[in-house]
Amino acid sequence: MIISEDDRRKILPVASGKGGVGKSVLVANLGIALASFGQRTVVVDLDLGASNLHTYLGVKNRHRGIGNFLADRSVAFSDVRVRSPYPNLDFVPGDVLVTGAANLSHAQKRSVITNIEKLDADYILLDLGSGSHFNTLDFFLISNSGIIVTTPQAPSILNAYGFLKNAVFRLLQQTFSDQKGVSRFLSDIVKERQPNATPSIAQIVEGIGKISKRAAGVAREQIGRLRTSIVVSMADHPEDMEIVQSLRALIEDRLQLEPSCLGFLYYDYIVREAVNDTVPLALVGRDSLILKEIDRIAQKIIHSERFPEMPLDLEEYEDSFALATIEAEDDYGSINPHPGMRLDENPDEATVEEFIRLISAQKQQIRELQGTIHALTMGGRGQE
C-alpha cells in the first residue's frame, strides 16, 4: 500500500458502497478540475465489467482499454493511456466491452496494480466499481488515500460503512497472509454464517493479540495508515451533515479509523443534463454550484502537499467535518432545488408553500435516518 503523504505522486482510489451515488461523475469532473489547475492527471476506469467513465468525460468508446491489455499480450499498458480532449488530462479506458474483464485472475489483478503504480502523473484517480468485491477492495488498497462517496441517506451511509469495514478486513488478510495462526483466525471469521456475528475491527485486533501481541501491534499500525476521505454527494440541506457525522462516529468507534470529510456536494439538476448529453458538467453549466464544489475539492487536494493530510485552520473550525458543515451552510443559498427555479427568484405563494413542505419533509427524513443509524449502531454493539 502506497503511503500518499510520503509520495509526490498521489493515487486516489474512489469507491462507493453502492451504485448511483455520483462516484463516476465526481471522478471525471475532479480529474478535469485537477488538470485545469495545471496538474498532470490520469483517470483510470476500473469499474471492469461496467466501464462507462468515458461517457462522463465526453469521450467516444473507441479506444483500447484495460480489457484489451488483459486479453492481448501484445498490448502494453502504455498503449491504453490515451489523451483526453482536456489539457493535462489522460484517460485509461476500462473493459471497453471485452468479455471477461470483470473476472480477473490474481495474476491479472497484480499486473494492473503494478502498472497503475508506475504511471507518471501528479494525480491518478481510480474509478472503482461499486460494492465490496475483492478486486474492488484490492484496488482501493493500492494507496492509503482512498475516497468513499456516499449520499446522506441511510442505505448509502450504511453501505459506505460496510465497504470500509470490508476494506479494513481485507487489509488485515493481506498483511497476515503468510502468518498461519492469524490467517487461520481471520479465515474462521469469514466462515461464520450467523447474522450479526461478525466482530468489530477492534474485537478482531483483540483476537489477533491473543495469538501474538506483536501481530496485534502490526494490525493497529496498518489500520492507522488508512486515511480515508468522505465526499457527500446529492445532498439537499446543510443538516445532511448530521447523518454524515453519525457515519464518522461509527467508523471511528467500530473500525478504528480517523476519516476526514473532503467535500459536500448538493444535488444539481445539471448533472442529469450532462449525463444525458454524455458531456462533462462544465459544458452544461459552467457557473453551476456543483462545479464550484468540485473545484473546491480539487484545490484542497492540490494545496495539501501531504494529502490526505490537509493543512486546516483549526482556529476557524475544529476539523474537516466542521469545515464541510460551514461550506454546506454557505452554499445552501445557491442550490437549484427545482428545474427552472432558484432560491433567489420570487415564486408564487403555492410554490413557496410547496417548497416549505419539501424542506420540512427533508428535515423529518434526516431525523428518521439519524434514528436508524443510532438504532443500528447501538443494536450492533458486541454483536457485529
| Residue range 270-294, pLDDT digits in tens | 998 998 999 999 888 778 999 999 9
* DSSP code of residue 99: T
CA dihedral over 352, 355, 359, 364, signed as positive or negative: positive
* DSSP code of residue 332: G
In a domain? residue 50 = yes
Beta-carbon contacts of 364 under 8 Å, excluding residues fewer than 6 positions away, are: none
In a domain? residue 41 = yes
pLDDT band for position 198 (cuts 50, 70, 90)? confident
Three-state DSSP class for residue 348: coil
112 lies in which domain range? 4-160+230-332
In a domain? residue 87 = yes
User: Lowest mean pLDDT: which of 38-52, 85-99, 338-352?
Assistant: 338-352
User: Over pLDDT 70: what percentage of the chain?
Assistant: 86
| CATH number of the domain enclosing 58 | 3.40.50.300
In a domain? residue 381 = no
In a domain? residue 257 = yes
Q: What mean pLDDT is predicted for residues 192-203?
A: 80
Q: Determine which helix (DSSP H) or strand (DSSP E) holds 201, and give its type and residue range.
A: helix 201-211
Q: Does position 261 have pLDDT exceeding 80, yes or no? A: yes
pLDDT band for position 352 (cuts 50, 70, 90)? very low
pLDDT band for position 194 (cuts 50, 70, 90)? confident
In a domain? residue 177 = no
Q: Within 10 A of 159 (CB to CB), how many other CB atoms are there?
A: 22
In a domain? residue 149 = yes
Which single residue is written with the C-alpha cell 501481530? Answer: 215
Query: Residue 275: which of 42, 22, 15 has the closest Cα?
Result: 22
pLDDT, tens digit, 9 for 90 and up, residues 31-87: 999 999 999 999 999 999 889 999 999 998 889 999 999 999 999 999 999 999 999
Cis check: omega of the bond before 308, within 30 degrees of 0? yes
Mean of per-residue pLDDT scores for the chain: 88
Query: Residue 327: which of 231, 229, 248 has the closest Cα?
Result: 231
Q: What mean pLDDT is predicted for residues 223-244?
A: 96
Which single residue is written with the C-alpha cell 458531456? Answer: 279
Tally of domains in the chain: 1
pLDDT band for position 354 (cuts 50, 70, 90)? very low
pLDDT band for position 356 (cuts 50, 70, 90)? very low
C-beta of residue 96 within 8 angstroms of C-beta of residue 115? no
In a domain? residue 59 = yes
Q: Does position 343 have pLDDT exceeding 90, yes or no? A: no
| Angle in degrees, 0-180, between the axes of helices 240-255 and 349-380, rounded to the nearest 10 | 10
Three-state DSSP class for residue 184: helix
Cell of 177: 497472509
pLDDT top residue among 197 and 331: 331
pLDDT band for position 193 (cuts 50, 70, 90)? low
Q: Within 10 A of 292 (CB to CB), how many other CB atoms are there?
A: 11
